[in-house]
């Protein structure tokens, strides 16, 4: 039984701010500043929220956003708990809905935001760091920032502010937002259970508040799972050449392989590939294929609950063998797909998670949030994390479930990935082919081919697709050369074989046109 709110609020017209307030622009997710959110809510409503942690009821509240330049005030927003196991933690996570009681209202272009407490991360930056890396790798952005949260004038701590992944978000990151978006939670293994849609709708996830394993987030009134069942059926076909062709028509394979490579590179085990959990599938109308999107990446960068060293786990054999996971297992059985996955990993290790590239961002985040984290007493209530633990969490182990600092994890992970890929040939090549270099890889407009011996000269180049069809042939003039730039902008996106003739030998490697 939901309690009646005793305190009355002034209702405003949809979209209006409190009189006298000036709307801030584009600062809600500005991660270069530390803004503050103030929630005013009746005491009995807040008491109910903490007493009934499984409730998803939105209570009326006042919202103030202070970006240090301007303050915006919105009356009659909805405020509730969010999350799964975090509902039982002492430091809660919250969801704010701007349109729950004022239909259609948005604030700075969004209807909802999520405030995550990061109670099990001594550094409090892992989730945001993952999303920054995800964006840096060219994946669809989920905007995030840090905020200080005050409830009824009391400081409730430092939070990660995350954009809600719904139709408004789709319109920002995809050409069309009209497709079905499915939120997939444990045990979302994508195992085929027949053609009846209702079977998949009846599967219940293991989150604290329940719900469907494959929960439709858009077009809910149609409740149509036809295409999802088609995807699952295709994923469970025998992984042969026909499977490779069929799955490429309904799934953006390269996009999934890159998502998997990012999970593996960041040690994100609470994902599909290890724990059949925490991902979205978007049936994108613009290319008529499903796109895979990781979410809830807080168990990353060395966090562990299994006694596994995620810093050195073999990137070529990451997938959990103890459960059926056809999306990962069947794709990686296909040699061409496995080679693409390794190419993504190689590029991510060398550029995206490279310490020289990512450490300055980590340092900026730490500097931005330091004082707010020190003053966050709720942060200490679940694991007893001290200020020393906060500082140590960036550079060394803190406890059994954070056996890595973020910096040493990234250093170890990069080294492990490159060593593991190199042990069977960099980017899928034989070790003797290390003299042949292709860059950039993946490429957009041109690739440069280089043979690292002055006495070896390129005499011919052939580009072949994954089915063995010759796409382009380049004959080289008589002049001596061991480096050549080749245009690839006319190629369709995908993986190709590059065959280079040099001094009577034929070298072969692979590259991706992105």
Instruction: Please report which helix (H) or strand (E) contains residue 65, including its range.
Output: strand 59-66
What does the alpha-carbon distance between residue 171 and residue 375 come to, in Å, rounded to a whole number? 37
Same domain for 106 and 211?
A: no
Residue numbers of the domain that contains 378: 355-423
Q: How many residues does the chain have?
A: 514
Identify the pLDDT of residue 330.
96
**pLDDT-wise least confident of 8-22, 90-104, 425-439:** 8-22
Exposure string of 81-103, with b = 16+ CB inside 10 Å and e = fewer, is: bbbbebbebebbbbbbbbbbbbe
Among residues 371, 403, 423, which one ends one of the domains? 423
Domain-located, residue 27: no
Domain-located, residue 241: yes
What does the alpha-carbon distance between residue 276 and residue 191 come to, in Å, rounded to a whole number? 10
Domain-located, residue 26: no
Nearest to 224 by CA among 174, 165, 283: 283
Q: What is the DSSP track for 441-483?
A: SSBSSEEEEEES-TT--EEEEEEEETTS-EEEEEE--SS--SE
Same domain for 259 and 335?
A: yes
Identify the pLDDT of residue 427.
39
What does the alpha-carbon distance between residue 302 and residue 165 come to, in Å, rounded to a whole number? 26
Q: Give the pLDDT band (50/70/90) at residue 24.
A: low
Whole-number percent of the chain with pLDDT over 90: 76
Q: Give the pLDDT band (50/70/90) at residue 23.
A: low
Q: Give the pLDDT band (50/70/90) at residue 468.
A: low
**Dihedrals φ, ψ of 150, to 5°?**
-120, 135
**pLDDT-wise least confident of 40-44, 269-273, 453-457:** 453-457
Same domain for 335 and 402?
A: no
Per DSSP, what are the bridge partners of residue 93? 82
- Model pLDDT for residues 358-388, shown as the tens digit of each residue: 999 999 999 999 999 999 999 999 999 999 9
User: Chain-centre distance of CA 244, in angstroms?
Assistant: 25
Q: What is the CATH number of the domain that holds 486?
A: 2.60.40.3080
Q: Give the pLDDT band (50/70/90) at residue 469.
A: confident
Torsion angle of alpha carbons 18, 20, 25, 29, nearest 10°?
Answer: -50
Domain-located, residue 18: no
Whole-number percent of the chain with pLDDT over 70: 88
Identify the pLDDT of residue 359.
97
- Model pLDDT for residues 173-190, shown as the tens digit of each residue: 999 999 999 999 999 999
Q: What is the DSSP letter of 236?
A: T
Same domain for 139 and 254?
A: no
Nearest to 84 by CA among 72, 74, 92: 92
Identify the pLDDT of residue 8.
38
Same domain for 313 and 289?
A: yes
The burial class, CB within 10 Å (0-12 / 13-18 / 19+), for 142 is buried
- Model pLDDT for residues 475-500, shown as the tens digit of each residue: 766 555 667 788 999 998 877 878 87
* Stronger pLDDT, 434 or 406, i.e. the higher one: 406
Same domain for 215 and 328?
A: yes
Same domain for 361 and 345?
A: no
Q: Give the pLDDT band (50/70/90) at residue 137.
A: very high
13 has pLDDT over 90? no
Same domain for 99 and 226?
A: no
What distances in angstroms separate CA 471 from CA 207, 353, 415, 462, 492, one per listed residue? 49, 33, 35, 8, 11
Mean pLDDT of all residues in the chain?
89
Identify the pLDDT of residue 20.
34
Per DSSP, what are the bridge partners of residue 460? 475, 501
Identify the pLDDT of residue 152.
98
Cβ atoms of 494 and 514 closer than 8 Å: no
Nearest to 509 by CA among 346, 348, 350: 346
- Model pLDDT for residues 36-73, shown as the tens digit of each residue: 999 999 999 999 999 999 999 999 999 999 999 999 99
**pLDDT-wise least confident of 96-110, 273-287, 421-435:** 421-435
Among residues 423, 438, 473, which one ends one of the domains? 423
Same domain for 259 and 405?
A: no
What does the alpha-carbon distance between residue 306 and residue 428 come to, in Å, rounded to a whole number? 30
Identify the pLDDT of residue 484.
78
Cβ atoms of 117 and 162 closer than 8 Å: no
229 has pLDDT over 60? yes
Q: What angle do CA 351, 355, 356 make, to 5 degrees?
A: 80
Among residues 402, 423, 444, which one ends one of the domains? 423
Identify the pLDDT of residue 466.
63
Identify the pLDDT of residue 461.
83
Identify the pLDDT of residue 452.
60
Three-class SS of residue 510? Answer: strand
> Computed from CA positions of residues 296, 302, 304, 308, in that sequence, does the dihedral angle turn out positive or negative?
positive
10 has pLDDT over 50? no
What does the alpha-carbon distance between residue 309 and residue 326 come to, in Å, rounded to a whole number? 24
Nearest to 393 by CA among 377, 378, 404, 381: 404
* Stronger pLDDT, 429 or 442, i.e. the higher one: 442
Same domain for 73 and 189?
A: no
User: Based on the structure, what is the number of domains in the chain?
Assistant: 4
Q: Between β-strands 494-502 and 505-513, what pairing exists: parallel, antiparallel or unpaired?
A: antiparallel
Per DSSP, what are the bridge partners of residue 419? none
What does the alpha-carbon distance between residue 252 and residue 247 come to, in Å, rounded to a whole number? 8
What does the alpha-carbon distance between residue 110 and residue 133 come to, in Å, rounded to a whole number? 23
> Computed from CA positions of residues 174, 175, 177, 179, in that sequence, does the dihedral angle turn out positive or negative?
negative
Domain-located, residue 2: no
Domain-located, residue 278: yes
Identify the pLDDT of residue 510.
78
- Model pLDDT for residues 190-214, shown as the tens digit of each residue: 999 999 999 999 999 999 899 999 9
21 has pLDDT over 80? no
> Computed from CA positions of residues 15, 20, 25, 29, in that sequence, does the dihedral angle turn out positive or negative?
negative
Identify the pLDDT of residue 424.
44
- Model pLDDT for residues 73-99, shown as the tens digit of each residue: 999 999 999 999 899 999 999 999 999
Cβ atoms of 97 and 78 closer than 8 Å: yes
Domain-located, residue 168: no
Same domain for 56 and 127?
A: yes
Same domain for 134 and 122?
A: yes
Domain-located, residue 122: yes
457 has pLDDT over 80? no
What does the alpha-carbon distance between residue 386 and residue 382 come to, in Å, rounded to a whole number? 11
Q: What helix, strand, coil percent values describe the chain, rounded to 5?
A: 30, 25, 45
């Amino acid at each position: 039984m939901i309690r009646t709110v005793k305190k009355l609020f002034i209702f405003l017209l949809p979209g209006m701010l409190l009189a006298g307030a000036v709307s801030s622009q584009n600062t809600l997710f500005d991660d270069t500043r530390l803004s503050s959110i103030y929630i005013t809510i009746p005491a009995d409503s807040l008491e109910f929220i903490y007493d009934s942690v499984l409730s998803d009821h939105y209570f009326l509240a006042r919202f103030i956003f202070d970006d240090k330049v301007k303050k915006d005030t919105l009356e009659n927003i909805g405020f509730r708990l969010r999350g799964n196991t975090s509902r039982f933690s002492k430091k809660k996570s919250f969801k704010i809905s701007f349109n729950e009681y004022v239909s259609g209202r948005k604030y700075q272009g969004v209807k909802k935001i999520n405030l995550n407490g990061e109670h099990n991360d001594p550094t409090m930056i892992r989730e945001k760091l993952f999303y920054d890396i995800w964006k840096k790798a060219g994946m669809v952005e989920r905007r995030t920032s840090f905020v200080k949260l005050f409830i009824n004038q009391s400081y409730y701590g430092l939070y990660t502010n995350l954009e809600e992944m719904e139709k408004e978000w789709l319109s920002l990151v995809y050409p069309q937002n009209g497709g079905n978006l499915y939120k997939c939670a444990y045990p979302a293994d994508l195992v085929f259970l027949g053609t009846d849609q209702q079977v998949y709708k009846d599967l219940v996830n293991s989150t604290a508040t329940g719900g469907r394993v494959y929960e439709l987030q858009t077009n809910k009134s149609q409740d149509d799972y036809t295409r999802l069942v088609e995807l699952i059926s295709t994923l469970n076909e025998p992984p042969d050449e026909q499977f490779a062709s069929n799955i490429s028509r309904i799934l953006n394979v390269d996009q999934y392989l890159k998502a998997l490579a990012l999970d593996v590179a960041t040690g994100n085990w609470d994902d599909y590939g290890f724990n059949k959990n925490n991902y979205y599938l978007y049936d994108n109308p613009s290319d008529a294929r499903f796109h895979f999107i990781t979410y809830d990446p807080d168990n990353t960068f060395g966090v562990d609950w299994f006694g596994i060293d995620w810093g050195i786990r073999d990137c070529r054999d990451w997938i959990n063998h103890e459960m059926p996971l056809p999306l990962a297992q069947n794709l990686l059985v296909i040699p061409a797909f496995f080679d693409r996955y390794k190419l993504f990993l190689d590029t991510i290790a060398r550029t995206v998670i490279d310490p020289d590239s990512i450490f300055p961002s980590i340092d900026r985040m730490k500097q931005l949030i330091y004082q707010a984290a020190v003053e966050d007493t709720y942060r200490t209530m679940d694991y007893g994390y001290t200020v020393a633990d906060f500082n140590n969490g960036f550079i060394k182990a803190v406890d059994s479930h954070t056996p890595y600092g973020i910096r040493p994890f990234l250093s170890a992970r990069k080294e492990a990935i490159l060593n593991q890929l190199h042990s069977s040939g960099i980017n899928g090549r034989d070790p003797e082919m290390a003299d042949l270099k292709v860059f950039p890889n993946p490429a957009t407009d041109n690739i440069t081919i280089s043979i690292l011996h002055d006495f070896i000269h390129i005499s011919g180049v052939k580009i072949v697709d994954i089915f063995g069809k010759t796409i382009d042939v380049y004959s080289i003039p008589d002049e001596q050369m061991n480096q050549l730039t080749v245009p690839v902008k006319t190629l369709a996106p995908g993986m190709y074989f590059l065959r280079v003739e040099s001094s009577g030998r034929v070298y072969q490697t692979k590259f991706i046109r992105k």
